Amino acid sequence: SGSEEDDGDQLANGNGTCLQLQTMPALSLHAAFNPFLESEDQREQEYARLRRKVATGACAGIWLQIGSDLALLKEGLEFLALLDRELAALPKGAKQEQRPSAPSLGRGFKHFAVYAGLFLPSKQLLAQQRFRPWAGVKLTAGGYLNSLEEAKEVTRNLLRIYGDYGVTPLFESKLTKVTQLQELVAYLDEASELS
């Protein structure tokens, strides 16, 4: 996400000056993307901002916000798949072809890598997210935040969807016990068996 006033071809630095992305050799940037926005208008604005960022040719990766609405996630991933197909259809020499290639993931997206944050569910996490959720994080009160068992099931479903689309998951949870690490490994093992 970014300013609605930028044209997608400039990058502002800390001094307030803008750099032209087309003139920067081998620049590799990543963009944030939140497919979990509740309002259709907000999602359309988010999609438009991401489309402009990808069109610069410098976007090598996309990082998904944390969320739990599986339908909105699939909609967002289908949008990313559409962007990927659009990049593939560009004629040779188009500016998007000049960007550094994304890591080869074997499946999924060919013109950019996609990463997704998620939590390792715990009672402490659920209490914290109910009381003071992280900015931009969209965990559903009627599902994920309902109970620890529901949060675990949503996490399994998220990992399945990420596997189906070739998205690299990133657990953003503090691990302080061996049992937490074992639980995380079990989630990943289960997801890899289903993919």
Element (H, E) at 123: helix 123-131
Give me the tens of pLDDT residue by residue for the chain, a chain 195 residues long: 444 455 555 555 555 555 555 555 566 789 999 999 989 999 999 999 999 888 887 888 999 999 999 999 999 999 999 999 888 777 655 544 444 444 434 457 888 899 999 999 999 999 999 888 888 788 887 789 999 999 999 999 999 999 999 999 998 888 888 888 888 888 777 777 765
Confidence (pTM): 0.76
Find how far residue 138's CA is from the centre of its chain: 13
Secondary structure (3-state) at 181: helix
